[in-house]
Structure 1
Amino acid sequence: MKQAFRLEQGGLVDRSKAISFLFDGVRYEGHPGDTLASALMANGVKLIGRSFKYHRPRGIVAAGVEEPNALVRLRSGARAEPNTRATAIELYEGLVAESQNRWPSLKFDLMAVNNLLSPLFPAGFYYKTFMWPARLWPSYERVIRNAAGMGVATRQDDPDRYEKRFACCDVLVVGAGAAGLAAAGVAMRAGAKVFLVDENASLGGSLLGQGTRIDKIPAAQWAHDMAAGLSTNSRVTVLPRTTAFGYYDHNMVSLIERVADHVAVPGPHVPRQRLWHIRAKRVVLATGAIERPLVFGNNDLPGVMLASAIRTYANRYGVAAGRRIVLFVNNNSAYSAAFDLARLGIDVAAIVDVRRAIPAAIMEQARSLGIPVHLGSIVLRALGSGCVKGAEIALRDSGRGTSIACDVIGTAGGWAPSLHLHSQSGGKAVYDERIATFIPGPGKQAAISAGAARGVFQLREVLKDGAAAAVSACADLGLKQQTPDVIVEGDEPDLDIEAFWLAPQRLGAKAKQFVDLQDDVTVNDVALAARENFRSVEHLKRYTTLGMGTDQGKTSNINGLALMALARQEPIPVVGTTTFRPPYTPVTLGAFVGRQIGKGFSATRLSPMHQWHLDNGAVMASAGQWLRPKTYVGPGETYAQAWRRETLAVRRGVGIVDVSTLGKIDVQGPDAARFLDLVYSNRFSTLKPGRARYGLMLRDDGIVLDDGTTSRFAEDRFFMTTTTAHAGKVLSDLEFLLATAYQKLRVRVTSLTDQYAQIALAGPKSRTVLEALLPGVDVSDAALPHMGVLETSLAHIPLNVFRLSYSGEMAYELNIPAGYGMALWMRLLEAGKPLGITPYGTEAMGVMRIEKGHVAGPEIDGRTTADDLGLGKLASKAEPFIGKPLMRREGLISPERPKLVGVMSTSPGAKIIAGSAIVKEPMAGAASLGWISSSTYSPTLDTHIGIAFIKNGRALIGQKLTAWSPLHNYTCEVVVGEPVFYDPSGEKLHG
């Protein structure tokens, strides 16, 4: 297959091998070493995509990660990945890509009508258009959401694997261009442990696209030799295809390594990508610079490109961007590109230079190559429809334009150092008038910017600067090394830039001038933002979407800031820059997750009786990491009928429930009692052995963390239980306190959650079942009263019996080594069979705890205090405990805080929805008095009840209010009462 724009020779691609790929269903060919962009360009494909808002035709602009236009959907099916940059995709056999943001096709996009209607869609139009009438917002939202974004993500599960790695090193060098290779070489020879990372497959950066020579060999060969030498050194880790996307505190840099993105399907056991977190003693940021375009009319037409990209495609990929090229420049760097193109036989029709004078040597070289140079001139607009057909140029002082036929316009508006990592590390950006851009200023971490990333552009100086940065970094580490001498031939002249931000339009001209190509932000949009007082750069960004695309404004930000500075009539440094946030380039979400997916996301924990539950019709539900039975649905029974049956069975007879998931922590040591006095709000040092006590645990800020019972087995041994959800949190907090604040206390805490099975036996007939289970053991009220603890055995197996009740009935919790949990469960069922013992699940547990007014997760939600829960009396007034200093803050003791109360439906059949607001009357804007935290139908009371938090709730007992759920468009009249609905005197509890 003929590649019409592939040069006969040159480039670093392997012309001996052909690679077949598909773009929008059409088959093309490229070569190893190509990117998708270079291969498409070689085949003459100019139209790659459509713009975000106006759906204007867009082509390739850049040759790297700064590409704003050439975004494609890569691969298909479960591996489909939208918004990938064609300029950064390595070509591989069988690659499948398609264009985005168009319908029904790329060439014929019906949404291009937006371009005709563009006067209706200025910057910020959606803020003004969709605010009225408010009732139509849901309809507006659907339309906006459907129109937002560019690519379409797959809904299938990602079949690929991702990994994470952590590493430390002496020197981390980010970027393997000229400066980075020089820095890594110096650090290696100094004996440092070095990591060298670069986002490209081949190291060398811009050296791979230049015609210069270093130490008498081509720059690309020099880069190859340096990379080979570094790769074979045992103290150097070289990571190609790796992007440093985030710089965090304590010199931690996060990287994404694209291990298998350059193949269709990763091999067995090969991750697609690997996330690295590297802590480095010193970091050298050799991240290079990005060329910025010049702004003129129709500058978004396919065929308008960066001059450096045109040069890269020719020198590195052996591809001509076009047949006839015009360069629009304001500095010397583009001349080197023009000279390279001319030597390769590409027609450079003209260089249009805004400057009125250039160095004589450059002018002479242009004449010798037959390249016309138009000084003091500008490109007014690109000519053509769908792609560039010519350029209209004019003298800067004249409005008259002349046309030059061409199919590519290359722009060179100067270079912007990649400050992203420097800024993320806390470093400042300062404006350098010499090169008309921002460069790294004072930093906060142990990092040094080098080369083009520091505003140094001549190759000879870049190499010296990279080496010097490494010498400085090594010196900080006590390693000595000298800067090597290098010989550079064919070096580029000094930049000699003249700041130029906008080519003025002729009177009456209607050609759009784009600042941000991806997001369709025009010069007029920036001007409108200034007029409407969105003059802060952060407001400018959000009002116009400047720099908010996948490219994060890499080619547009400086121009946008400069235009705002002109509008404000202030210097660019005063206007400032927007915030550089990670990631530097988009990162696959799967890389952050790594192997923590499916069962690897969170361990599934099963109680010793799990299989029995499944075999007996249990409907299982997640409770943290655990699976617990919600209810046991019998033959011909509905879910609701099942849990209501279970609830009444416990209230009238006896039931058992698996509570093995409760957190169980052994607390031992001479100072155990003193330690518990500090971590609980109430005292435990006064608790006698053989007794249990309910305790409330607060956070440092005075908010309730957890509740549970703790039993004392001996003077120096306690057994703590926590809620299922907070077991891990409580244990880690205890360990932290003993390792920091209370190091001198002689205490050890050990998790026993998995070591013991625990079963609750509840109901008025529970003691009869316990007596049948433990014949000869005294479990009477005298021997085992409420909150009593009994250590005994069952068939010579240690068994702990706690007289505790969550249901409000007489109840016991039996604790046995986990391996015997199933045996204990079966023995209890056998012992209770004559009494109709019923297994019950968390639904019935929840119903009974609401009937009894017990607080749980919905009430202990990280916002409530002990006073809010009606448990303020548990807070010791005399003794210190965690949370006490802050629990009395003004906001936490305000009488306006909602307090715990009970609510009951005034109509037995009317459901109370948890989460409903409590109001006097349901209407838009009604003041909320509180909310429903938990609700249920009570089979015991045959009505709907709930627990609520209501402002001044205690004073409202007996009054009728409304529980209103706007989400469900539902209201229910309720009467406020005490939170304890069942057996308020506790007679049943004490038997």
Structure 2
Amino acid sequence: MAETHRLPAIGRIDRTRPLSFTFNGRHIQGYAGDTVASALLANGIRLMGRSFKYHRPRGVLSHGTDEPNALMKVDRGRGRADPNNRATVIDAVGGLKVSSQNHWPSLEHDVGQVNDLLSPVFVAGFYYKTFMWPRSFWDKLYEPTIRAAAGLGIAPDTPDADRYVHRNAHCDVLVVGAGPAGLAAAIAAAESGKRVMLCDEQAEMGGSLLHDLTSTIEGKEASAFVAEALATLAGRPNVTLLPRTTAFGYYNHNHVVLTERVTDHLARPDPKLPRERLWQVRAGEVVIATGSHERPLAFADNDRPGIMLAESVRAYVNRYGVAPGRRIVFATNGASAYRAAADAKAAGLDVTIVDTRPDRLIGTERALAEGIAILAGHTVIGSTGGKAVTGLIVAPVLNGKDVGTRRSLACDCVGMSGGWTPAVHLFSQSRGKLFFRTEIDAFVPGSSAQRERSAGACNGTYDLAAILAEGWSAGASAAGMAATRAFAASPPTPTGFVPVRVLPSDADPHKVRAFLDFQNDVTAKDIRLAVREGFESVEHVKRYTTNGMATDQGKTSNMPALGLISEILDKPVPQVGTTTFRPPYTPVTFGAIIGSARGELFDPIRTAPLHDWAKAQGAAFENVALWRRAWYFPKPGEDIHQAVNRECRAVRAGVGIFDASTLGKIEVVGPDAAEFMNRIYPNAWLKLEPGKCRYGLMLKEDGFIFDDGVVARMSADRFHVTTTTGGAPRVMAHMEDYLQTEWPDLNVFLTSTTEEWAVIALQGPRARDVLAPFVTGIDLSPEAFPHMSVREGKILGVPTRLMRVSFTG
């Protein structure tokens, strides 16, 4: 197809590297740096998917991870196919096969669209009110029909051909998000010399600065500032940069989990490279700079292909060199859309602004200078069109609520802006407390529960200079410095904003379908119905209507729904509350989570220190728990019985050696260690002298034997506990459970040391004679080293704990 909507000489795409991929079997032209969504728009394709419930035609809504509409199946060949990928974040790669989903027989002609005609039946909670009678129909008709209609994409049924790896990392400061706040924070933290990791979900770092062509920072263009900042960070050995990496979970103890997409952007990836890498990061301090999500406006038929977020129009024009439409109407209740409108006008597009605010507030100056027509104090009644938007119906707003005479505006694209919602997901996952800021009509981070700080738009700060200063302060503070820095940024960021839950209209609100959750087809009237039927808790409304339960997890729909509930109940938004943010922030492949667990990594075989020596001596091995342990050493022609009898005679008459490293070992340390041992075992331990050993028998609560092993008291506050080979994990868990839940008053620390100590059992009447020449620092005489004792010294210079215990079978 021809790139009918590609703009000349604009954008960050590499026009020297053209590429081609297929969408539903049609060849699509693009360039390196494109996403699938931007390439489709450049080729004039606006219909990209179908909604879940009504199968309504849908186009792209956003340009990032908050996309609810354009979900695709991606086939990279060789069993590398997966569904439900957002076209807005799929890198355009030559040879890629992309297809839309949730339709039959085709995207353009979907039989499922009959559901749209039946929408009066499929209201909020319809599944709780239907399928009740006749009861016998449930198994034969209702359930099979529902299950056949469930889901979006089709899960692959072939083995995954890709490789996945896990990696653990520690850093002093982890910065999540590489927009203006994240870059400033990373530089400030890096200057301290601390170990810094900076991750960002996009292919390029820079955030909103990547599509900002008008702002200057310290006298430099935004793109130049980004390039200079990244060069500075890349040149520091204490900094790790991770593009294409999403922080999707924030857990206890500043444990943040990332997923890095390593090869999805490569046409011919190196087979030695993994497709994805899962990072388990333990950070000393975390700086969250994840930005914010633009909100859509609620008006009738606001879901037609071609209707998208205003900032996304700006991103497609400035970053990807794409005209989402030739005649664009921007509908807004705030000043931020004026930047997008002015940029679109500067790119040669026909632009009109419809502003619900009665006056032309701050931010309109450039739009007026560009000659953009502004309809202030107007509302959008609805849209026209079928598989693409063809126009808007607008009208003036009288007395703040009444609607005047309608008029039509022809357009092929609508950029809507209903305000901004800070991306507080990771902060909330960390168990931080949110609070509501009325002036921006949004929840922002409040008190932190972990060593974390938020900066920039995710903290409710939208002025560019303030964002940079806040990021710098957060990074410096995270690195232990009390540094601040002022940044010169121009022009000032427009911030005027007047919240509107549903745009004023002269239509019956119970008949108008103004969509809030685009993927699940949840409308404003669905929210009204849920509240009318008694669901006032936001969590109940969410589940009754499925608002915010789609693959985007409500990134664009949660706040509009909360605001509407607040308006219906006549309660402030903080009293209505907000939903719970849970990991993952965006969907994560099963491969990234568990794909590395294959073969021996799935069922690992643990080997003792003498494994290779035993193998060389011809040992037969047995599996004990997860260990491969030497069983016996047969000579040629011997069976197991003959070999064991020979070995027993040798030990009884002379000496034998056995690798007992598989035994579990736990170090119990602390001022209350003896008291803890006295409680966890039925044996008495308080009077056991340091340097002595005792056989320990551990019981369960029912009195049955749980485990056993020899315990050595190394000092007054330290015990060396041994367990059976298979019992080590459960004994450790048992001890931890009682220490944390039953006896939290005890000052004791438990450490698994099974892998720290090799255990060599030397048995037989000549054991002392064999050992003596190699031992230093220990008197092996029977008087100095009696039975059931422990001593510390060295064997061949290696630190050793030597126990004199009975261990002969």
* Range of TM-score over shorter length: 0.7 to 0.9
Give the structure 1 partner of residue 200 of structure 2.
198
Q: CA deviation at 1:83?
A: 0.8
Separation in 1, partners of 2:286, 2:241: 15
Q: 1:343 aligns with which of 342, 346, 349?
A: 346
User: Aligned in 2, Cα 1:334/1:753: closer, same or farther, shift over 3 Å?
Assistant: same
| Local SS of the residue matching 1:87 | coil
- The structure 2 residue matched to 1:165, chosen from 167, 170, 179, is 167
Distance 2:14 2:462 in 1: 30
1:577 alignment counterpart: 578
The one-character-per-residue Cα deviations of 1:374-404 (angstroms, maximum 9, x if unpaired) are 1111111011111100000011232531100
CA shift, 1:727, in A, is 6.6
Query: CA separation in 1, counterparts of 2:25 and 2:128?
Result: 39
Length-normalised TM-score, structure 2: 0.77
Equivalent residue for 2:730?
Answer: 729
* Residue 68 (str. 1) matches residue 68 (str. 2): yes
SS in 2 for 1:206: helix
Q: Does 1:142 align with 2:144?
A: yes
What is the identity, as a one-letter code, of the residue corresponding to 2:28? Y
Q: What's the offset of the Cα at 1:128?
A: 2.3
Kindly state the Cα deviation for residue 121 of structure 1 after the two structures are TM-superposed: 1.0
SS of corresponding position for 1:3: coil
Alignment partner of 2:79: what SS?
A: helix
1:333-412 superposed matches below 5 A: 333-348=336-351, 350-359=352-361, 362-396=363-397, 397-412=402-417
Residues 73 and 707 of structure 1: CA distance in aligned 2, closer, same or farther (over 3 Å): same
Cα-to-partner distance string for 1:7-28 (whole Å, 9 max, x where unaligned): 0111001112211101111111
The 3-state SS of whatever aligns with 1:579 is coil
| Identity level (%) | 47
Is 1:261 equivalent to 2:271 in the alignment? no
**How far apart are the structure 2 equivalents of 1:257 and 1:668?**
36
Structure-2 separation of matches of 1:91 and 1:676: 62
Which residue pairs with 1:3 in the alignment? 3
The 5 A counterparts of 1:283-682 are 283-348=286-351, 350-359=352-361, 362-396=363-397, 397-474=402-479, 477=480, 479=481, 481-483=483-485, 485-493=486-494, 495-507=495-507, 510-603=511-604
When residues 229 and 150 of structure 1 are mapped into structure 2, their CA distance, relative to the original with a 3 A threshold, is same
Counterpart contact for 1:329–1:413, Cα < 8 Å: yes
Considering Cα pairs closer than 8 Å and 6+ residues apart, tell me whether 1 or 2 has the greater RCO: 2
1:96 corresponds in structure 2 to: 97
Please state how far the C-alpha of 1:422 moved relative to its aligned partner. Answer: 1.1
Partner of 1:317: helix, strand, or coil? coil
**Separation (CA, whole Å) in 1 of partners of 2:368 and 2:664:** 88
SS at match of 1:276: strand
Report the equivalent of 1:875: none
Letter matched to residue 546 of structure 1: N
- The 1-side partners of 2:254 and 2:756 are apart by 35
Counterpart amino acid of 1:529?
A
**Change beyond 3 A, Cα 1:358–1:710:** closer
Q: Which moved more, 1:70-79 or 1:454-463?
A: 70-79
Unaligned runs of at least 5 residues, structure 2: 608-622, 629-659, 668-674, 686-695, 712-720, 766-809
Contact 2:527 / 2:545 at 8 angstroms: preserved in 1? yes
**Partner SS for 1:17:** strand
Are residues 131 and 598 of structure 1, via their aligned partners in 2, closer, same or farther at CA, if it must alter by over 3 Å?
farther
CA distance, structure 2, for counterparts of residue 735 and residue 526 of structure 1: 47
CA–CA distance in 2 between the matches of 1:731 and 1:134?
A: 52
Query: Match of 1:866?
Result: none
Other structure's SS at 1:502 match: coil
Q: Write out aligned runs for 1:876-895 (5 A).
A: none
* CA offsets 1:135-159 (integer angstroms, 9 cap, x no match): 5544433332322211111122212
Q: Give the Å deviation of 1:623.
A: 10
Shift of 1:667: 10
Q: Describe the shift of the 1:44–1:698 C-alpha distance in structure 2 as closer, same or farther (beyond 3 A).
A: farther
Q: CA-to-partner distance for each residue in 1:484-531, whole Å, 9 max, x for gaps?
A: x433233432x1100111024433585421010011101111011101
Aligned pair 1:45/2:45, yes or no?
yes
CA distance in 2, matches of 1:242, 1:535: 38
Q: Does the Cα contact within 8 Å between 1:697 and 1:704 map onto a contact in 2? A: no
Structure 2: distance between partners of 1:262 and 1:472: 36
Judged with a 3 Å threshold, the aligned counterparts in structure 2 of structure 1 residues 443 and 386 are, in CA distance, closer, same or farther, namely same
Q: Secondary structure at the match of 2:15?
A: coil
CA distance in 2, matches of 1:109, 1:7: 32
Tell me the equivalent position of 1:54.
54
In 1, the alpha carbon distance for the partners of 2:482 and 2:676 equals 53
SS in 1 for 2:39: helix
| Local SS of the residue matching 2:16 | coil
Contact kept, 8 Å, 1:77 with 1:156, in 2: the verdict is no
Q: 1:290 to 1:663 in 2, by over 3 A?
A: same
Shift of 1:166: 1.8
Correspondences of 1:700-711 after superposition (within 5 Å)? 702=701
How far the C-alpha of 1:595 sits from its partner, in A, is: 2.1
Distance 2:755 2:354 in 1: 77
2:266 paired with 1:251: no
Question: What is the rounded CA distance, in whole Å, between the counterparts of 2:237 and 2:627 in structure 1?
Answer: 46
Whole-Å separation in 2 of the counterparts to 1:214 and 1:381 = 40
Q: In structure 2, give the amino acid aligned to 1:160.
A: D
Q: Is the Cα–Cα contact under 8 Å of residues 20 and 29 in structure 1 kept in the other structure?
A: yes
Change (3 A) 1:487 1:533: same
SS in 2 for 1:279: strand
Query: Structure 1: how far apart are the matches of 2:513 and 2:749?
Result: 73
Taking a change above 3 Å as real, the CA distance of residues 466 and 678 of structure 1, as seen in their structure-2 partners, is closer
Deviation at 1:213, TM superposition (A): 2.0
Residue 665 of structure 1 deviates from its aligned partner by: 5.5
Task: Quote the offset at 1:752 in angstroms.
Answer: 13
Q: CA deviation at 1:731?
A: 7.2
1:679-694 to 2 correspondence within 5 Å?
none
Summarize the Cα distance change of 1:58–1:754 in structure 2 as closer, same or farther, 3 Å threshold.
Answer: farther
Give the aligned partner of residue 780 of structure 2: none
* TM-score with structure 1 setting the length: 0.64
Structure of larger gyration radius: 1
Q: Distance in 2 between matches of 1:585 and 1:705?
A: 47
CA distance in 2, matches of 1:511, 1:407: 22
* In structure 2, distance between residues paired with 1:515 and 1:551: 12
AA paired with 2:373? P
Aligned residue pairs total: 687
Quote the residue 2:280 is aligned against: 277
The 3-state SS of whatever aligns with 1:15 is strand
Structure 1 residues 663 and 277, CA, compared in 2 at 3 Å: closer, same or farther?
closer
> Is 2:627–2:662's contact at 8 Å kept on the other side of the alignment?
no
Q: Contact 1:203 / 1:224 at 8 angstroms: preserved in 2?
A: no
Aligned to 2:222: 219
1: CA distance between counterparts of 2:46 and 2:508?
Answer: 29
5+ residue gaps, structure 1, are: 607-621, 628-661, 685-694, 713-718, 757-790, 793-991
Q: Shift of the alpha carbon at 1:201?
A: 1.2
- Report how far residue 54 of structure 1 moved: 0.7
- Counterpart Cα distance in 2 of 1:60 and 1:668: 56
The residue that corresponds to 1:29 in the other structure is 29
Structure 1 SS opposite 2:539: helix
C-alpha contact 2:336 2:363 (8 A) present in aligned 1: no
SS at match of 2:353: strand
Q: Residue 359 of structure 2 aligns to a residue in which SS?
A: coil
Contact kept, 8 Å, 1:336 with 1:492, in 2: the verdict is no
Give yes or no for contact 2:403–2:504 (8 Å, CA) kept in 1: no
Question: Structure 1 pair 697/36, CA: closer, same or farther in 2 (3 Å)?
Answer: same
Q: Structure 1 CA distance, aligned partners of 2:748 and 2:438?
A: 57
Instruction: Provide, for residues 199-242 of structure 1, a one-character-per-residue CA deviation record: whole Å limited to 9, x for no partner.
Output: 11111100011122223332112112211110111111111111
* CA RMSD of superposed structures (Å): 3.9
Supply the distance in 2 between the matched residues of 1:330 and 1:697 (Cα, whole angstroms): 69
Structure 1 residue identity aligned to 2:421: A
CA distance in 2, matches of 1:367, 1:720: 80
